[in-house]
Structure 1
Amino acid sequence: MIQFLTRGHIFRSCIVNRCFPEFEKKKLNIGCSPRTILGYLNTDVDRTGEIYLDAESSHPFSSNSFDVVFSGYMIEHISEDAGQQLLNEIYRILKASGTAILPRQISSVFQN
Structure 2
Amino acid sequence: MATYEIDGVVFDLARTYSDVTGIEWTWSGRWTAAGEPIMRTVSGFLPLPDVYRWHGPLIAIPEPVTGRQMRAVFGADFLASQAAGYVESPESWAARVLGGVA
- TM-score, L = length of structure 1: 0.21
- TM-score, L = length of structure 2: 0.22
Which structure's residues are more often helix, by fraction? Answer: 2
Bigger Rg, which one: 2
